Amino acid sequence: MKIQDTMEKIIELSKADECIVISEESSNANVRWANNTTTTNGVAEARKLYVISTKNKRVGVVGRTYFPEDQLEDLVRESEAACEDKPEAEDYAPLIEGISNDGWSESLDRIGIEVFSNFAPELAQVFKEAASSDIKLFGFADHSTTAVYLATSSGMRLGHMQGEGKLEVNAKSSDYSRSSWVGQATSTFKDIDLSRHYERLQQRLGWADTKLDLDPGHYEVLLEPSAVSDMLLYSYWTSLARDADEGRTVFSKPGGGNRKGEQLYPDNVTIYSDPSEPGFEVSPFQVVPTSSSQASVFDNGLACGRTEWVSRGVLQSLVTPRYWAEKNEGPAVPFIDNLIFPSSGPSLDDMISSTKRALLVTCLWYIREVDPQTLLLTGLTRDGVFLVEDGEVKGAVNNFRFNMSPVAMLGQAQELGTSEPTLAREFGDYFTFAKMPPVRVADWNMSSVSQAT
């Protein structure tokens, strides 16, 4: 039975006031390596189905990965029964009606290990080159195809096909004293250029032939796009209207309300999401199996359009579910799975050339919130911090623990480079599609030295 037919059957079986059915099918292949040899690998086929029923504005949600045809009625009744002992949903809103798209009739394009048929021999060759240069390679290649479908008793029939993958390569000298990293997000895995990545890794390891020890303190930094992405993704996840309106976040306004309309950053900072951004295409509609302050089950099917979060330095939008929008007489603003920070400034090489003294930071790691009041985050530099003086890279510096807020970071952004597709080193597991520039930050708190290499 095709998944769309299963969903139609569920809608047909439903005796609830309203019924929402969400299905996600995916196909994944991955390979992981360390010390120039593979460690784990595999292929997996997954699927999940959520049946969301409402009765008298009460919600029941049941999720399953196994749902043979002869168990569908039981599943629907279980979802309906789950409404019975619930209070009325605070976020209740009538279902969005009657929209459909071509994606509904499309099928999952399944993949297998053959997705790496070209990549595997290239990687084997790079392993040989690395071993001959006394370099050890570590990394991960991953690719998935996913089909998401949404059907509702209000007539919605939507589908979205997503290809999503990544490559991460970490190169270390055999004594682990020098280390560099590259990452690439991809939607096809056909655009991976391993030799280009390996050249960059070698360049960075070369820079690290000279080792310099620096003390903790406040530094001017040049953040590479991956590092910018990690910081801004945390800020994006915090950009929730309800939390801000209730006074719980850095985007809350003293006295009540939120900071929308406030100039938080320099006027060359604009950040947006757009599901149809070329090369960064993501789902154009909301899919929500359970409600939170970010999204409501009653947002299912809500169209995602281009949304400016920051416009010329002004906080423009916060993520707003439909019920919260209605309560506050504003627009609903869905969370969108890409983040674009456009800039056509100088290249990173030109930014280095024009630097008197700064630290060049490749990527960040283990980022956690310390103080929600200012969105102070702590974390570590990783796999490449370099001292730049008088326009030249002088050598690799010890790693640091930093304490820094992305809001403060953008507030003192002195220079933006040219935006490029990037993979956030830490949060790339949860958010693949980002385009960021390198950013020069005037005053970055490197709180202490990390001995890690």
Partner 1 sequence: MARPDIDQSFADLPYEAMADAALSKAQNLNVSYADFRFERLKGQLINMRDLQLEGLVTSESLGFAVRLVKDGSWGFAASVELSTEAAARAVEQAADVARTLSSLNSEPVELADEPIYEDSFVSSYGVDPFSVPDEEKISFLKGVNEKVLASKKADHVDFALSQVLENKFFASLSGSKITQQRVRLQGNFDAVRIDKDSGAFDTMRSNAVPVGKGWEYISSEYDFMADAEEIPSLLEEKMVSKSVDPGRYDLVIDPTNLWLTIHESIGHATELDRALGYEAAYAGTSFATIDNLGKLQYGSEVMHVTGDRLVENGLASVGYDDEGVAAQQWDIIKDGVLVGYQLNRQMAEKQGFGRSNGCAFADSPLHVPLQRMPNVSLQPGQKNLSLDDLIGGVDRGIYIVGDKSWSIDMQRYNFQFTGQRFYEIRSGKIVGQLKDVAYQATTTDFWNSMEAVGGPSTYLLGGAFNCGKGQPGQIAPVSHGAPVALFRQINVLNTTQEGGSS
Can you give 399-419 as a three-state secondary structure string? EEEEEECHHHHHHCEEEECEC
Which run of H or E residues covers position 197? helix 194-207
Smallest distance from partner 1 to CB 20, Å? 12
Sign of CA dihedral 251, 257, 260, 265: negative
Smallest distance from partner 1 to CB 311, Å? 23
Smallest distance from partner 1 to CB 419, Å? 25
The residue among 87 and 278 lying less far from partner 1, judged by its C-beta, is 87
Residue length of the chain: 453
Smallest distance from partner 1 to CB 411, Å? 10
Which run of H or E residues covers position 169? strand 157-173
Spatial contact of 285 and 95, defined as CB atoms under 8 Å apart = no
The residue among 340 and 404 lying less far from partner 1, judged by its C-beta, is 404
The residue among 136 and 204 lying less far from partner 1, judged by its C-beta, is 136
Smallest distance from partner 1 to CB 135, Å? 12
Quick one: which of 248, 369, 377 has its CA closest to 318? 248
Query: Under the phi-then-psi rule, with left for phi > 0, alpha for psi from -120 to 50, and beta for the rest, what region is 442?
Result: alpha
Nearest-5° angle of CA 378, CA 383, CA 389?
90
Encoded amino acid at 439, one letter: V
Measured in degrees and rounded to the nearest 5, phi and psi for residue 266 equal: -60, 155
The residue among 11 and 75 lying less far from partner 1, judged by its C-beta, is 75
Smallest distance from partner 1 to CB 267, Å? 21
The residue among 274 and 337 lying less far from partner 1, judged by its C-beta, is 337
- Residue spans of beta strands (DSSP E) within 241-306: 271-273
The residue among 132 and 451 lying less far from partner 1, judged by its C-beta, is 451
Sign of CA dihedral 198, 203, 204, 208: positive
Quick one: which of 309, 290, 308 has its CA closest to 299? 290
Smallest distance from partner 1 to CB 52, Å? 9
Smallest distance from partner 1 to CB 138, Å? 4
Q: How far apart are CA 341 and CA 180, in angstroms?
A: 25
The residue among 140 and 272 lying less far from partner 1, judged by its C-beta, is 140
Q: How far apart are CA 129 and CA 121, in angstroms?
A: 13
